[in-house]
Amino acid sequence: MTPIYKVWEALTEKLPTALQESYDNCGLQVGDPSQIATGVLCCVDITEAVLQEAIAKGCNMIIAHHPLLFKGLKQIGTSSYIERCVRLAIRHDLTIYAAHTNADNADGGLNYLLAEELGLESVTALAPMSDTLMELVTFIPAKKLNQVAEALWAAGAGTIGAYDSCSYRSSGQGTFRALDGAHPFVGEIGQLHVEPEERLSLTFPAYRQRQVEQALLASHPYETPAYSVTRLQNVHPRIGAGVIGELPEAEPVDSFLRRVTDYFKTEQLRYSVTEKTAIKRVAICGGAGAFLWKQAKRAGADILITGEAKYNDYFDCEGAPILCTVGHYESECIATQLFAQIISDKMPNFAVYQSELDSNPIKALQHP
């Protein structure tokens, strides 16, 4: 039997809430995380119909892309769908969890999945986040170096781009004197000891600091390990807003736009006027990502695919890159696939469903 919080721990392992934007409200929205999960329904939006769908499927946990509680509630009545959803969730003991901009910004998150589906290669973050990396430096007896390094790698340290098990090592000598009450791994109480040691340096995502420090303290042979943790200003190449990658072969603009239309099943594909004839380098940002067109231009993108844009955005980008919008909901409905895939990979025997409802509040009337 699995508590609800264990389900979202599996999700946040891949989509850390620490990666959400400052304005966002990811994480628990409503409910008791300690109760036993009977099933999970993954959706884009929380609506009354989605809650009823969860009840019908026997799910007491719902994972949504868009937070239900984005702004504070001053009352929980019946005057808005948000209030009614909160009342309905509480009445049926449902837990609601949101993974929004953390799912957008994460390495392997929503935008990476879109890039994979559209066949992009060599994908990286379009607007990489800074201040998301930290460096750990510690000093270890040479014979215990590999033991500690492997524990730190397992905790999430030492991954740089497409490489893991990364570290820097240098040899030296450490000195210490064990005082009364100490239990030294090497050396004698009251005597200055000189020990051949290795200096080990690794980087890790800031949101893994607790796990990395715990792994160090659990694996290090010294009673009181010497170590330091420093926040780096380096950008993380795979964490941030949007992604950019390349098609295996350049495609004619018209052909690529038709493929995009078919993939997103959109009734409202719109794009800026352009003189480009072919698409090779593609930027993607689900949701409202038109603000990234300058970054896309600097990165040499031929096109930026996103959910929505303002009228002037199509003017401002001047078709370089092409600004292509497919609809906000259409660009993010892949979130249900992402959530279900992450949970199923971690908990293969757990009941996970993707919502069968179209919660898109925007409808388009086709011109005859």
Quote the pLDDT of residue 71.
Answer: 86
Kindly give the interhelix angle for 48-57 and 81-91, rounded to the nearest 10 degrees: 20
Are the CB atoms for 300 and 293 separated by under 8 Å? no
**Under 8 Å CB-to-CB from 293, ≥6 apart: which residues?**
304, 313, 316, 317, 321, 323
pLDDT for the residue 27: 96
The secondary structure of 244-307 as a DSSP string is: EEEEEEEEEHHHHHHHHHHHHT-S--EE------EEEEEEEESSS-GGGHHHHHHTT-SEEEES
**Pairing of the two strands 168-177 and 95-98:** unpaired
Q: What's the Rg (C-alpha) of the chain?
A: 25
pLDDT at 15: 96
- The two tokens of residue 291 are 């603000």
Place of tokens 């919502």: 355
Residue 204, H or E segment: strand 192-205
Provide the pLDDT for residue 265. Answer: 95
Q: How far apart are CA 288 and CA 326, in angstroms?
A: 11
> How far apart are the C-alpha atoms of 147 and 219, rounded to whole Å?
7
User: Tokens 């721990």 sit at which residue?
Assistant: 9
Q: What is the pTM of this model?
A: 0.88
- Give how far Cα 88 sits from Cα of 31, 71, 91, 184, 248, Å: 11, 19, 5, 59, 48
Strand partners, 103: none
CA distance 113 to 125: 12
Q: How far apart are the first and last CA of the chain?
A: 54
Residue 6: how many other CB atoms lie within 10 Å: 15
- What type of residue is 230? T
pLDDT tens digits for the chain (368 residues)?
Answer: 899 999 999 999 999 999 999 999 999 999 999 999 999 999 999 999 999 999 999 999 999 999 999 988 899 999 999 999 999 999 999 999 999 999 999 999 999 999 999 999 999 999 999 888 999 999 999 999 999 999 999 999 999 878 899 999 999 999 999 999 999 999 999 999 999 999 999 999 999 999 999 999 999 999 999 999 999 998 888 999 999 999 999 999 999 999 999 999 998 899 999 999 999 999 999 999 999 999 999 999 999 999 999 999 999 999 999 999 999 999 999 999 999 999 999 999 999 999 999 999 998 887 66
Distance (Å, whole) CA 342 – CA 241: 20
For the record, the structure tokens of 366 come out as: 């086709």
| Measured distance CA(329)–CA(326) in Å, rounded | 9
Task: In whole angstroms, give the CA distance from residue 246 to residue 115.
Answer: 9
